[in-house]
Amino acid sequence: MTPQLDPQLESIYQQVIQRNPGESEFHQAVLEVFGSLGQVVKKHPDVLENKIIERICEPERQIIFRVPWQDDKGEVHINRGFRVEFNSALGPYKGGLRFHPSVYLSVIKFLGFEQIFKNALTGMPIGGGKGGSDFDPKGRSDSEVMRFCQSFMTELYRHLGEYTDVPAGDIGVGGREIGYLFGQYKRITNRYESAVLTGKGLDWGGSLVRKEATGYGLVFFVEEMLKVEGQSFDGKKCLVSGSGNVAIYAIEKVHQLGGKVVACSDSAGTIYDQNGLDLDLLKEIKEVQRARLSVYADTHKGATYSEGGNIWDIPCDIALPSATQNELGEADATELVKNGCKIVGEGANMPTTPEATRVFQMANVAFAPGKAANAGGVATSALEMQQNASRDAWSFEHTEERLAEIMSHIHRNTFETAEEFGTPGNYINGANIAGFLKVARAMEAFGVV
């Protein structure tokens, strides 16, 4: 069921579909934002007159390129690289790189589109972009990953710069990949331009808390939601899907705040540990060994691993989908509601399908969209850029404090904007409207560009 849009927004949405055929994820992300803009176009007709919405839906620049590389046996492989520089109204394009076989233009465009509003919500001077490749780092040796990253950067470098475009990590791109990418950038340009990539190692320009930032930020945001109800994480049972960067540090912060995460997952299955997940073991498996999650149950008595199992069938108070797009569907949402889930916070980008989101809204489950709830990662990337610009390195405590302040500000802004536009408690509307208006005002100030 497609939500009823304002007729003018519906017409723009149809144009977006026609101009971008076959890009279902991008269409979904656009429709999600348009669903919140009905009141905005009534209150601010200038955004229609100036065609701000049409302009925001058209990336400023899209780069698609060939990435040839050789594996350890000498066989040549060809992947496709992408960088979509979506919107620079608020600052240089900023957004991660994703290496995953499912990557194609639509995935990068949906992520880049969401990034525009997310970055606006952080209050930092950063525009929106996203990139990546259909390369699969899984099962590849370090040397293979290095050769791929070097080939990828050999084209990408000419589009980057501290004041132009600053990528970071995402699925399949962590500290190892950022290292190889930065090394090649430095080699080609002969410039030690620290602020051209974020998520760097701590010895060479990285920021403390960047690794933890998305997961921690998500939990800080949900903590603010709990405070609205006079509650806290104390004693709350949580589910966190995925077991990558976002999931691991969301689990860590939930545990620090007194909650208990009983399950996490990967693309093959789910681990359930009723006593609460053993985070040290999880980190060892995922960060050190780079092994599959199933190993957890081999070494940890009392935990069960179910191959292909569905994490959303497990009863919980709070669900934090932190794996990938459209991982939580209508039937999952119905099951979560039936089992008493009261809060959903999106750690991943667009993990909840539109049908599932409606189930949560109908059941009055408090729902935090990824644009707001997972903005802590990019916000801390902007803090990394600040430290690079001032040749400074902040302490863990100071950086975490800044992150917590930013998440609290995003919560307040989305909460108050939802109220101002007549939909109290609707964080989706709050995030979309607050992010959109900030970008729209800057675009209007710049004239027709």
**What residues act catalytically?**
130
Residues in Cβ contact with 46 at an 8 Å cutoff, skipping those fewer than 6 apart: 52, 444
Give CA–CA dist 159/53, Å, rounded.
25
**Distance (Å, whole) CA 247 – CA 249:** 6
Q: Of 57 and 263, which has the nearer Cβ to ligand NDP? A: 263
| Number of other residues whose CB lies within 10 A of the CB of residue 420 | 15
Interface residue with ligand NDP among 6, 170, 273, 332 (CB under 6 A) is 170
Footprint of ligand NDP on residues 24-83 (CB under 6 A)? Answer: none
User: Under a CB-based contact definition with an 8 Å cutoff, are residues 325 and 349 in contact?
Assistant: yes
Distance from C-alpha of 316 to C-alpha of 309, rounded to nearest angstrom: 16
Q: Which of residues 38, 59, 91, 242 is near ligand NDP by CB under 6 A? A: 242
Query: Mask 263-282, x = binds ligand NDP (CB under 6 A)?
Result: --xxxx--------------
374 touches ligand NDP (CB under 6 A): yes
Tell me how far the alpha carbon of residue 138 is from its chain's centroid.
Answer: 20
Phi, psi of 135 (to 5 degrees): -70, 140
Q: Of the candidates 36, 241, 387, 414, which one interacts with ligand NDP according to CB under 6 A?
A: 241
Q: Applying CB under 6 A, which of residues 37, 219, 246, 379 lies at the interface with ligand NDP? A: 246
Is there binding between residue 389 and ligand NDP (CB under 6 A)? Answer: no
Q: Which residues contact 293 (CB under 8 A, 6 or more apart)?
A: 243, 264, 265, 266, 268, 269, 271, 285, 286, 305
User: In the complex, which residue's CB is closest to ligand NDP?
Assistant: 244
Instruction: Give the shortest CB-67-to-ligand NDP separation in angstroms.
Output: 19
Measured from the CB atom, the residue of 359 and 372 that comes closer to ligand NDP is 372
- By the rule CB under 6 A, 417 interacts with ligand NDP: no
The stretch near ligand NDP (CB under 6 A) out of 74-82, 166-174, 331-339, 427-435 is 166-174
119 scored as a contact of ligand NDP (CB under 6 A):
no
122, 150, 198, 214: which one binds ligand NDP (CB under 6 A): 214
Q: Is 387 in the site for ligand NDP (CB under 6 A)?
A: no
CB nearer to ligand NDP: give 79 or 154.
79
Structure tokens at 137: 């780092």
DSSP-assigned beta bridge partners for residue 367: 344
Residue 244 touches ligand NDP, criterion: CB under 6 A: yes
Q: Which of residues 331-370 bind ligand NDP (CB under 6 A)?
A: 347-349
The yes or no reply on residue 245 touching ligand NDP (CB under 6 A) is: yes
- 81, 95, 169, 179: residue in contact with ligand NDP (rule CB under 6 A): 169
From 122, 184, 243, 426, residue interacting with ligand NDP (rule: CB under 6 A): 243
The two tokens of residue 52 are 């701000």
Here the tokens at position 88 are 């620079």
Dihedral, CA atoms, 38, 42, 45, 49, nearest 10 degrees?
50
Q: Which residues of 335-363 are buried (b: 16+ CB within 10 A; e: fewer)?
A: bbbeeebbbbbbbbbbbbbbebbebbeee
What is the size of the binding site for ligand NDP (CB under 6 A)? 25
If you count them, how many residues does the chain have?
A: 449
By CB under 6 A, residue 327 contacts ligand NDP? yes
Query: Which residue among 9, 156, 323, 434 contacts ligand NDP (CB under 6 A)?
Result: 323
Q: Is 245 helix (H, G, I), strand (E, B) or coil?
A: helix
Give the span between the Cα atoms of 131 and 35, in whole angstroms.
26
**Least distance in angstroms from the C-beta of 215 to ligand NDP:** 8
Does 172 help bind ligand NDP (rule: CB under 6 A)?
yes
Site residues, ligand NDP (CB under 6 A): 169-172, 214, 241-247, 265-268, 322-324, 327, 347-349, 374, 377
